[in-house]
Structure 1
Amino acid sequence: MTNENQDVSVITDELKQESSILAEKLTAALKSGAQVAGEQIMEAVQELVGPSSLLVEKFATAVKNGKKFSGESVMEAVGEFAEPSSIFADKIAAAVKKGARHASEQMMEAGVAFVQSLKESKTNKV
């Protein structure tokens, strides 16, 4: 093998290695971003479960006490539940955005490290 072919082979091997490292870092960044979003989504779900449980309890208590729910009181109870639902949707959207932001920051860092590694490899060859 000529020196030129050996150089190409070495560069190709280094590029494969660096690409593999980059892929691992990008995968880790995506997993981390998903974990951040997942944690916040679980918090939002826990907050929503409370109000929905209260709604069920209100209906159950009324039935146990033999009270009749008028259409107005049903709408009032549903209205109390609907407000947290819109807040829940906002929290889910914020969680997804935060997870994506977290992942993109880590991906950017991995990309910068990849480019830097390629520059250093090129400098060492010259």
Structure 2
Amino acid sequence: MPEQRSVPSGSNVIYQANPEVMKAVDSLQQQFAEVGQKHINKPVRVQTVRGEVYEGIITHVDKTHLYLNALPQNQSNRGFFPPAGPYPPFAPYPAYPGYPPYGSGSNVVLPLALFDLLVLTLLI
């Protein structure tokens, strides 16, 4: 859990998260990170607490985010857009049925906050 920081005296705190809630959020993030790590390079459907649904392949997971290589129907103006051009032939991952092969134009990677995830469904 992140270290607790003291509030400087004389500060007008307008909100402070409940420590028990923060423990629960930390535990939730850790659970999603562990599950995501076990399913890197696999196709999944992700649903957020706000009802947004994304499908794609998990490319990376860290302590706070799950990075999803989104399928074309999920592409929007959110995420990282690599420069256009030829991509090196380094596709070590086979394409899953119904999904474009790696490097075929679906290069939008969505960073999804772990605390915002509600459901993670394996699509194979």
| TM-score calculated relative to the size of structure 1 | 0.26
Q: Report 1 or 2 for greater relative contact order, CA contacts < 8 Å, sequence distance ≥ 6.
A: 1
Q: Whose strand fraction is larger, Structure 1's or Structure 2's?
A: 2
| TM-score calculated relative to the size of structure 2 | 0.26
Q: Whose helix fraction is larger, Structure 1's or Structure 2's?
A: 1
Pick the structure with greater CA Rg.
1
